[in-house]
Amino acid sequence: MLQIWKSGSDPTGEDLAKYVTNKYTIHPMYRNATWADEVVKGWASSKYKNTDIIKRIQSATIYDHAHKVTKRVISDEKIQEILKYFQ
């Protein structure tokens, strides 16, 4: 890619796509694909106090998060127990 730009010509779409794929896309089985594991695990550990952030970013919006939390708190079993009480 660098040679194409140094020559003063523009890369074709195919050349650019190949460059991006080879440079930034790594198959998970490739030996260099695990370079970030330690960094991510360290960031996610309670040592860095990021455990609450991880729970919050599992939802797309704050409303989705609130819905999921409410759904967990009021489980189907609890609803069935309440319904039995009123029958």
For 26-65, how does the pLDDT look when each residue is reduced to its tens digit (9 = 90+)?
666 666 667 777 777 777 776 666 666 777 777 888 888 8
- Between CA 26 and CA 43 the distance in angstroms is 22
**Domain assignment of residue 1, given as a range:** 1-30
Q: Are both 18 and 48 inside the same structural domain?
A: no
Residue of 59, 27, 53, 22 lying closest to 40 (CA atoms): 53
Q: How many structural domains comprise the chain?
A: 2
Place of tokens 């010509």: 9
Q: What is the pLDDT of residue 78?
A: 76
Mean residue pLDDT across the chain: 76
Q: Are both 5 and 47 inside the same structural domain?
A: no
Q: What is the pLDDT of residue 27?
A: 66
Q: Are both 10 and 49 inside the same structural domain?
A: no
Q: Are both 17 and 56 inside the same structural domain?
A: no
Q: What is the pTM of this model?
A: 0.31
Q: Are both 47 and 24 inside the same structural domain?
A: no
Q: Look at 8 and 54; give whichever has higher pLDDT.
A: 8
Q: Are both 46 and 78 inside the same structural domain?
A: yes
Q: What is the pLDDT of residue 59?
A: 82
